[in-house]
Amino acid sequence: LDITYPLNLEFEQALQGTTVEISLDKRGTIQVKIPPGVFNGQRIRVRGKGRTGRRGQTGDLYIVCQVREHPYYRRVDNDLYLELPLSLTEAALGTKVDIPTPQGRTLLTVPPGTPSGARLRLKERGVRTTGPKSPGDLYAVVRIVPPKSLNAKQKELLEQFRLAGENLPRQDLGW
């Protein structure tokens, strides 16, 4: 009597919610509202839209959401993670970076001395769901990308930096 219906959703549709039209074989089509913040594998129950049994009772329709991965967001519960590549100088000196969020682009301040792997939090810029639960956060995860090649002037400046007393990150490990 109950029917399971797999529904493919784009990442943005799952974040924002959407309305979909579902064909129920000979019984026509129905409009189903998918709430914002649904996750991959989540089941949505639509009462009374399953098959009708011999005694006249009607089952339910269970929509199983299959959410496609996003090209740059990764979802963990209601938090989103975004990889943020930075140059050596951006990480060392600090910078402001224009990044995408589900609510639109925003300017993120990267403090001076930000290490690779640091998670910069944008409060409540993650997944918003219906109900009492507060929105998740967006974390920009820093990945420092060294230059693939250096010109002579860049090599000279980095060598001067090293000679000026660069702190080695391994010096306090006790190896």
- 171, pLDDT greater than 90: no
How far is the CA of 131 from the CAs of 37, 58, 96, in angstroms?
10, 28, 34
Which segment of 14-28, 32-46, 95-109 scores lowest on mean pLDDT?
Answer: 14-28
- 8, pLDDT greater than 90: yes
The reported pLDDT for the residue numbered 81 is 98
- 28, pLDDT greater than 90: no
Taking the model in full, what pTM does it have? 0.84
Model confidence at 105, in pLDDT bands (50, 70, 90)? very high
Q: Extract the tokens encoding 173.
A: 């490990």
Mean pLDDT over the full length of the chain? 92
**Stretch 162-174: mean pLDDT:** 80
- Tell me the H-state helices in 104-168: 152-163
